[in-house]
Structure formats: C-alpha cells, structure tokens
Amino acid sequence: MTAAPLVSVLLPVYNAGPYLAAALGSILRQDHSRLEIIAIDDGSTDNSLEILERCQKADSRISIVSRENRGLVATLNEGLALARGELVARMDADDVAYPWRLSRQVALFERRPELGFCGAGVDMLIRGRIARGKPDPVFQFGRIPVLAMFFTIFMHPTVVYNRKVIDDSVLHYDPIYRHAEDFDLFRRLAGRYPAAMMPENLVVYRVHEASVTSRHVKEMRRTHLRIVAENLER
C-alpha cells in the first residue's frame, strides 16, 4: 500500500497572536495527518513565538524558524526551501482550515497527478460571523492560463503546489512584486502547468483591519495593475 503523501504546510507568522492558535489547531486537526507545519516567525513583536513554542511542545509536526523581520516574500521563499513534502500547502496565520481541507486537496492530486497546483473557495469570517462564499464558476470552467493574466485566480491561503510536477527553479515568489507576489507566481505557473479550482470552500478567511490585505490594499492594486500591463505587452 502506497503511503499517503507528505504535505508541508507553509505558515508565515507576523504579530498573529489573537488568531494563531486557532489557525494552528485547524491544521493539526486535519484528517490527513501526514503533514509538517513550517512556521516562520517573521520578527513578531507580540506573543506569536510563545504560542508557536507552546503548540510545538504538544505536537512535534510543527517546525519553527524565528528571526528578524524580512517581509512576506522572503518568508514564503524560506519556507519553500525548507519544505520536505511533495505537496506544499499555503496557510495564513489568521485563517482557519476546515478539517477535511488537506485530504480533499490530496485526493484531487491523486486523481489528477498532472496538476501543478490547485486552489479552493473560502468562507468569510466577518465580525464573528461566517458568510458562505460562492466559488466563481469562471475560475472552475474558464481557461485558467488566460484568466491568470488578469486576475489572482486563487485565494492564496487555499493553494497547494505539487512539487512532483512544478520544477523547484520555478516555484518561488518574486520580491519585485511585493504585495501581489501570489498573482505573479500564479500567472507564471499557469502558463506552464495545469491547474484546477476546487468547487468547494475549504478555508475560513478572516476579515479584519490588521490583515495584510487590509493594510496594503493600495499597494496591492498598483502592483496588480503593473502585472496586467506587463502581460498585455508580451
């Protein structure tokens, strides 16, 4: 019997104290148990590292890197370099994964081993209430390589990369596109590898004022438009 694939869960952490335990707990309770969590504390000034160390004592599947602040892109690339799994899942420190998230995504890659990466839908957690998300059929049935030129095709914390398909030299985030590093990576990958949008919500995306999206929305829009312009010039 073939062993279940190892999934490396890449978890960047920066001042995520109020939400971190819930995010970690949701991964540790996955029904796909063959996983490792690579938690990189990017110079947090709150109690994030303390929470990570406490959780690590209870579950050895957590690996911790703690260092000075280098930003999200550097943190993501460091995590990719450390990941041992053939599948690498993204997770944000303020979100919550449903218990079946990883098993459903692993099953997709087992059914379709040619896939380079996949994403899924999300529910939104807004002021303590969950709003059910509706996956856009355009991203399920449309031509992903074309869509990826104009849109961020997947919610970043739902993505899983298949390293059996994607070359390691391609699987990296470009610091030039800070605040839209996911859009840039997805467009590059979609031009070379098959991708799929799962028709179900696997992550609860927390909406709050301290999130990266909320704090850098203008920069994200500017970089997004820059990438679209580059795509149109090609």
pLDDT at 209 over 90: no
Report the alpha-carbon distance of residue 204 to residue 87 in Å, rounded: 21
Tokens of 167: 């070359």
Domain ranges of the chain: 7-233
Supply the pLDDT for residue 233. 73
Residue scoring higher pLDDT (194 or 228)? 194
Q: What percent of the chain has pLDDT over 90?
A: 78
Q: Is pTM, for the whole model, over 0.85?
A: yes
Phi-psi region of 99 (alpha: psi -120 to 50; beta: other; left: phi over 0): alpha
Tokens of 103: 């098993």
| Fold classification of 7-233 (topology level) | Spore Coat Polysaccharide Biosynthesis Protein SpsA; Chain A (3.90.550)
What are the tens digits of pLDDT across the range 48-59? Answer: 999 999 999 999
Phi-psi region of 40 (alpha: psi -120 to 50; beta: other; left: phi over 0): beta
